[in-house]
Amino acid sequence: MGIFNNIPLFPPQASTFAGQVDALYFFLTAVSAFFSVLIAVMIVIFAVRYRRSRQPEAEQIEGSLVLELTWTFIPLGIAMVMFAWGSWVYFQQTRAPRGAMEIYIVGKQWMWKAQHVEGPREINQLHVPAGRDVKLIMTSQDVIHSYFIPAFRTKADVIPGRYTSTWFNATTPGRYHLFCAEYCGTQHSGMIGEVVVMEPSAYEEWLAGGTGEGSLSSSGQKLFQELGCATCHRSDTQGRGPNLVGVFGKQVRLNDGRTVVADESYLRESIMNPGTKIVSGFTPIMPTFEGQVSEESMIALVTYIKSLQSAPQSGTGAMQEGTTPANVTAPPNKNR
């Protein structure tokens, strides 16, 4: 697929999507070019053939079913090919495969922060291993930004107040441009960075050489204690809030009979606006944490809650159901 490598119009193809997106783009360009040329040539031919000096006699044609069907169904067919092909690429890009490694991205005026689950954070850089599915879970601290890696052909809006995600599988180690692709204020054009694709072993080394501030879920666990969440969200059935062990990814029944999937956005919303979706059987007593929890802390909390369903004995703060682990302590002051 190296046909575009020597044309500077196209960025390098450095992800599994790049070839697919380019093929589709090439098809769209080819169809447009074909019809543009066809129409331009026809204009010239007719202009010459029926020019005034020849005094052409116009022949009245009263309609032709064959002609009508032809110019309806050929464009329809072409448009449907574009639609089906485009949707296929789009759905592939939107749905990360199971088992993809996750990295959190926070956009703000005017920088990109990345938070790796293992602990390291970075600004205006993103280190990823080659050959692995990487899912980005993204949010914004202020306005809408857009995370754009041309070499991967991935671009996704980053929106305040919710999580959006995209994913890629980088194929070639190297350094690639990272842009903000949504006008977001005066320094928008400076909201750039680089994506560093490394060999998996080098990536592991890079992770290990990080800041040593502990994993994301362990800082989330600390916050869970500090903010008093553990007071009500206990891992036994005595809590005033729902037990959070194993909740992530599951269907949750709400007070009003609706069911929602407990994904990242649901967890975030339930921390920011706890009254919006009350779990069936519970009363809306939880205070809002809006303004108290930064997007980065939110990511840590969400990661911690997600970790509560992994292997019970793992060291990252997973709680065992039915027991009262040390991290779920009764606080001295009771109301929260």
Q: Residues interacting with ligand CUA, by CB under 6 A?
A: 107, 110, 145, 180, 182-184, 188, 191
- Give min distance, CB of 190 to ligand CUA, in A: 9
- Give min distance, CB of 122 to ligand CUA, in A: 17
Task: Name the residue nearer to ligand CUA (CB basis): 188 or 277.
Answer: 188
- Give min distance, CB of 140 to ligand CUA, in A: 8
Task: Name the residue nearer to ligand CUA (CB basis): 148 or 289.
Answer: 148
Alpha-carbon distance values, 305 to 233, 269, 279, 317, 323 (Å) = 11, 13, 16, 10, 17
Task: Name the residue nearer to ligand CUA (CB basis): 133 or 194.
Answer: 194
**Reduced 3-state DSSP string for 264-303:** HHHHHHHHHCCCCCCECCCCCCCCCCCCCCCHHHHHHHHH
Structure tokens at 4: 């575009």
Task: Name the residue nearer to ligand CUA (CB basis): 160 or 173.
Answer: 160
Strand partners of residue 198: 129
- Give min distance, CB of 110 to ligand CUA, in A: 6
Q: How many angstroms separate the CA atoms of 41 and 177, rounded?
A: 41
Residues constituting the chain: 336
- Give min distance, CB of 152 to ligand CUA, in A: 18
Task: Name the residue nearer to ligand CUA (CB basis): 125 or 225.
Answer: 125
Sheet with 164-169: list strands edge to edge.
121-123, 111-116, 101-108, 133-140, 164-169
Q: What are phi and psi of 56, to 5 degrees?
A: -70, 145
Q: What are phi and psi of 120, to 5 degrees?
A: -60, 140
Task: Name the residue nearer to ligand CUA (CB basis): 110 or 176.
Answer: 110
The answer to whether 127 touches 198, Cβ cutoff 8 Å, is yes
- The helix/strand count (H/E) of the chain reads as 7, 12
Give the DSSP per-residue string, 171-208. Answer: -S-EEEEEEE-S--STTGGG--EEEEEE-HHHHHHHHH
Task: Name the residue nearer to ligand CUA (CB basis): 107 or 274.
Answer: 107
- Give min distance, CB of 214 to ligand CUA, in A: 29
Residue 3's Cβ-side half-sphere holds a number of Cα atoms within 13 Å equal to: 5
- Give min distance, CB of 168 to ligand CUA, in A: 19
Task: Name the residue nearer to ligand CUA (CB basis): 191 or 299.
Answer: 191
- Give min distance, CB of 181 to ligand CUA, in A: 7
Q: How many angstroms separate the CA atoms of 316 and 307, rounded?
A: 7
What is the chain's alpha carbon radius of gyration, rounded to the nearest angstrom?
Answer: 27
